[in-house]
């Protein structure tokens, strides 16, 4: 499949993740966007929906209503950028027709249907597909992603947290029973719908916590971090809303198993773990990451601080929630599924200032 253009489809083009996918796919060297769907915008061209695509070939595509048969006929791989619960039925139809699927919702991230039903408040109707789905974090599961027909694209907060903690847990540098993840996200993480709490006047010049102790990304983090640690663990995950459009900054508080763990040894463990992973950038001692340095990119910037006074190893992990935390990561997974280089179409530098 990698020798010719791959026909891809996008279900749910009008949300922020669909918008970001359209932006990235417009210039992808090996993917040709062959079908885009939306119930609200059907009948319009993509350039009419998104004027920033004027002049790009994808701008002439006409948005259609979702139809599994039409998508299967037109596409080799389909991105599902639809709300939780909506992906299950269309994914089942596309998989039955032999198509590859990257799902950006939470419908296939959690391996236990009971956990999904508890946290998302709905029945899971595709337990068989859930067992076959691969969690789409390339730094951990690239080989499995490449062989998969269904990839569950990770959530944005979990991407930042798991990448931040992976080397420390895998190399048993920290106590798995003492992890606090204090994370902040831009407003685009709440979606494009007109929700009161996401309106400009409600967010601008303010800062607030939300969903403390009950955020839906918690079981996803615990599932993957437990797999890395080789034992069940519970984390304290605390989410906050920043008055910015995009970006996630996670400050992660951990306790080293060895009180004598040196900052140099910790940084070496991280540098070694991510040596072959170009999208993770380890910052040198004395520098801390900021969200503008990753805006619109696939990079995860990580810094380590050894706090001798409190005896903690503090990990700061920063990503763009829409690109690395959603649509860009979905394209990276699709690249692997189609035999393409991981970074194909994803070489953008940050959008600064």
pTM, whole model, 2 decimals?
0.96
* Whether residues 46 and 164 fall in one domain: no
For residues 232 and 272, membership in a common domain is answered with yes
CATH number at residue 191: 3.30.360.10
Q: In sequence order, what are the residues at sequence separation of 6 or more whose Cβ sits closer than 8 angstroms to the Cβ of residue 58? A: 22, 25, 26, 33, 46
Q: Render pLDDT for 56-112 as a digit per residue (tens, 0 to 9).
A: 999 999 999 999 999 999 999 999 999 988 899 899 999 999 999 999 999 999 999
Per the domain annotation, does 337 fall within a domain?
no
Is 120 within a domain?
A: yes
Q: Are residues 72 and 203 in the same domain?
A: no
Would you call 156 a catalytic residue per the annotation? yes
CA distance 288 to 41: 42
Q: Is 142 part of any domain? A: no
- Residues 200, 268 share a domain: yes
Whether residue 192 sits in one domain with residue 119: no
Shared domain for 122 and 161, answered yes or no, is: no
Structure tokens given for 127? 């337990």
pLDDT digits (tens, 9 = 90+) for 296-324: 999 999 999 999 999 999 999 999 999 99
Residue 162 lies in domain: 157-321
Query: For 173-192, what is the mean pLDDT?
Result: 95
Cα–Cα nearest to 272, from 173, 145, 346: 173
pLDDT tens, position by position, 245-296: 999 999 999 999 999 999 999 999 999 999 999 999 999 999 999 999 999 9
Spatial CA neighbour of 95 closest among 64, 141, 132, 65: 132
In a domain, 145, yes or no: no
- Asked whether the beta carbons of 253 and 314 are under 8 A apart, the reply is yes
Please indicate, yes or no, if residue 308 is contained in any of the structural domains. Answer: yes
* Catalytic residue selected from 156, 300, 323, 338: 156
Dist CA 304 CA 294 (whole Å): 17
Domain shared by 171 and 225, yes or no: yes
For 8-56, the pLDDT digits (tens) are 999 999 999 999 999 999 999 999 999 999 998 999 999 999 999 999 9
Residue 342 lies in a domain: no
Q: Quick one: CA torsion of 279, 189, 185, 227, rounded to 10 degrees?
A: -60
79 and 161 in a single domain? The answer is no
Mark whether 189 and 313 lie in a shared domain. Answer: yes
- C-alpha torsion sign, points 109, 110, 116, 118: negative
In a domain? residue 247: yes
User: Distance (Å, rounded) from C-alpha 155 to C-alpha 70?
Assistant: 28
199 and 88 within one domain? no
The number of folded domains in the chain is: 2
Strands in 300-307's sheet, in edge-to-edge order, are 208-210, 236-241, 180-185, 248-254, 312-319, 300-307, 280-282
């Amino acid at each position: 499949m990698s020798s010719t253009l791959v026909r891809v489809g996008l279900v749910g083009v009008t949300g922020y993740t669909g918008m970001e996918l359209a932006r990235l796919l417009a210039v992808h060297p090996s993917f040709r966007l062959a079908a885009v769907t939306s119930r609200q915008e059907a009948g319009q061209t993509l350039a009419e929906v998104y004027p920033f695509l004027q002049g790009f070939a994808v701008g002439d595509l006409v948005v259609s209503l979702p139809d599994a048969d039409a998508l299967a006929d037109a596409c080799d791989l389909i991105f599902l950028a639809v709300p939780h619960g909506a992906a299950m039925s269309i994914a089942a139809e596309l998989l039955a027709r032999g198509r590859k699927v990257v799902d950006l919702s939470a419908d296939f991230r959690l391996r236990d249907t009971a956990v999904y039903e508890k946290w998302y408040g709905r029945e899971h109707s595709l337990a068989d597909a859930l067992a076959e789905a691969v969690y789409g974090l390339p730094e951990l599961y690239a080989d499995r992603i490449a062989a998969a027909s269904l990839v569950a694209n990770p959530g944005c907060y979990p991407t930042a947290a798991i990448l931040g903690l992976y080397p420390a847990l895998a190399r048993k540098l920290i106590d798995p029973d003492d992890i606090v993840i204090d994370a902040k996200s831009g407003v685009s993480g709440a979606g494009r719908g007109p929700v009161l709490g996401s309106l400009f006047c409600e967010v601008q010049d303010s800062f607030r916590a939300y969903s403390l102790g009950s955020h839906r990304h918690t079981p996803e983090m615990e599932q993957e971090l437990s797999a890395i640690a080789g034992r069940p663990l519970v984390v304290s995950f605390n989410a906050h809303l920043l008055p910015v459009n995009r970006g996630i900054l996670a400050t992660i508080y951990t306790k080293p198993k060895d009180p004598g763990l040196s900052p140099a040894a910790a940084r070496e463990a991280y540098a070694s773990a991510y040596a072959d992973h170009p999208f993770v950038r380890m910052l040198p001692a004395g520098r801390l990451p900021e969200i503008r340095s990753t805006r619109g990119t696939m990079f995860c910037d990580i810094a380590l601080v050894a706090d001798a006074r409190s005896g903690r190893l503090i990990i700061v992990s920063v990503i763009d929630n829409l690109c690395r935390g959603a649509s860009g990561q979905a394209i990276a997974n699709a690249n692997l599924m189609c035999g393409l280089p991981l970074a194909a179409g994803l070489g953008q530098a940050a959008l600064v200032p």
